[in-house]
Amino acid sequence: MERMKPSPRVYWIIFLLLAATFVLSITVGAVNIPLERLAAILTGRAGDAENATFAAILLKIRLPHAVLILLTGAALSGSGAAYQGLFRNPLADPYLIGVASGAALGAVFAMSIQWPDSLLGYYAIPIAAFLGSALTVFTVYELARVGKVVPATTMILAGVAVSSFASALTSFMMLRSTAELHRALSWLMGGGTLGGWPPVLASLPYIALGLGVLLTSGHVLNVLQFGDEQAHSLGLNVERVKLWLILAASLATAAAVSFSGVIGFLGLIVPHVVRILWGADYRHTLPLSVLGGASVLLAADTLARVVLAPQVLPVGIITTLAGAPFFLWLLRSTRNQLFG
């Protein structure tokens, strides 16, 4: 009876895609790990010395990196879908509305005052990034709001302005602490240069919490698509619900940005494709965006590692090179609805 409801098969396909890109991500790189060795290592038959080397690469470098990328893709894409639903605007994206830049500012600020050294270690960075992103999203929302709606024009303008301001502050801070400059710069372009398991462990709780709230909010986001007044008359406590969702999306974004840097356009493209293929029911848009985003970012990251190998490109370059033209196309094809 409900049209365009994605069948369970869709979830299976997207799960398989995620598994395939994950395997690709851990086997391909400066050193390729053949699949039979992967199988041997995973089943604990890593007997000979060569297999031990592969096992070390896999467990200490590839696996944590792939898990971090997976979490990052899931967080950015899931929160992109949520922001689009919250702002009722298909162009809302953690990058475009400045949340990601705000998170980066918070993270760099925390690093520049050596907060992680004194308290909480790595776990402090997502908290600082979260404060930065929450500050940014409320600033952009208040600047862009006309009455109770957020028009695309003002949202993008406010997003660009706030985002540039945050980026300038970030650059200023990085220039002040030159020792960290190179590392921070490549990190900000989406390099994910902090290696090993600590970043994964430090971002996992925040991303799980943020995405956990978002993934259970599909029904609520559906109700919000009818506008605040109708959502209110359908029995939703609109202001409180929106606050929770914004905080959850910003937390997920902040934790992702904290260790993977600013990765543009992923949160725009993936939910958009999901909506084109399977309709606008947020109970499906959210989980499919989360799975799809993880998969797409794993693929983009693999590409970033092989295209100029042995040099590793920041994955943000790949997503932006693919995403910016897509965004322009989207802007052009929907401009009548958005600005007409």
Partner 1 sequence: MLEIQSLSVAYRERLALREITLSVRAGEVLALIGPNGAGKSTLIRVASGMIPLKAGQIRLNQREISGLTAAERARMLAVVPQTHNLPPTFSVYQTVLLGRTPYLGWLGQAGSSDHALVAEALEQAGISELSARLIGELSGGEQQKVLLARALAQSTPILLLDEPTNHLDLRHQTNFLSLVRKLAVEKGLAVLVALHDLNLASLFADRVALLSNGRLQALGSPEQVFSPEILSPVYGVGLRVISHPEYGTPLVLPDGPAADFAPQGRGYMLSAEPMVRLHV
> Is 223 a residue that touches partner 1 (CB under 8 A)?
yes
| Token reading at 293 | 């985003």
CB 254 within 8 A of CB 103: yes
Shortest distance, position 183 Cβ to partner 1, whole Å: 42
Shortest distance, position 335 Cβ to partner 1, whole Å: 16
Of 22-30, 56-64, 93-101, 215-223, which segment contacts partner 1 by CB under 8 A? Answer: 215-223
> Is 219 a residue that touches partner 1 (CB under 8 A)?
yes
DSSP category for residue 94: T
Nearer to partner 1 by C-beta: 171 or 222? 222
> Is 148 a residue that touches partner 1 (CB under 8 A)?
no
Helix boundaries (H) for the chain: 8-27, 35-42, 49-56, 63-87, 99-112, 115-118, 124-144, 152-176, 181-188, 197-215, 218-224, 228-233, 238-260, 266-278, 282-306, 315-339
Q: Which residues pair with 292 in a beta bridge?
A: none
Site string for partner 1, 169-208 (x = CB under 8 A): ----------------------------------------
Is the alpha carbon torsion for 86, 88, 93, 98 positive or negative?
negative
Nearer to partner 1 by C-beta: 145 or 183? 145
Nearer to partner 1 by C-beta: 145 or 283? 283
> Is 227 a residue that touches partner 1 (CB under 8 A)?
yes
Nearer to partner 1 by C-beta: 91 or 223? 223
Q: Which of 32, 164, 237, 333 binds partner 1 (CB under 8 A)?
A: 237
Q: Is 319 exposed, middle or buried (0-12, 13-18, 19+ CB in 10 A)?
A: buried
Within 8 A by CB and 6+ apart from 16, the residues are none
Residues 251-290 that bind partner 1 (CB under 8 A): 275, 279-281, 283
CB 81 within 8 A of CB 276: no
| Token reading at 303 | 């590409």
Q: How many residues of this chain interact with partner 1, rule: CB under 8 A?
A: 27
Nearer to partner 1 by C-beta: 174 or 248? 248
SS3 label, residue 61: helix
CB 69 within 8 A of CB 219: no
> Is 218 a residue that touches partner 1 (CB under 8 A)?
yes
Of 74-82, 157-165, 213-221, 306-314, which segment contacts partner 1 by CB under 8 A? Answer: 213-221
CB 106 within 8 A of CB 131: yes
> Is 89 a residue that touches partner 1 (CB under 8 A)?
no
Q: Which of 216, 307, 324, 325 binds partner 1 (CB under 8 A)?
A: 216
- Which residues in this chain contact partner 1 in the complex, by CB under 8 A? 1-4, 216-220, 222-223, 225-227, 229-230, 232-237, 275, 279-281, 283
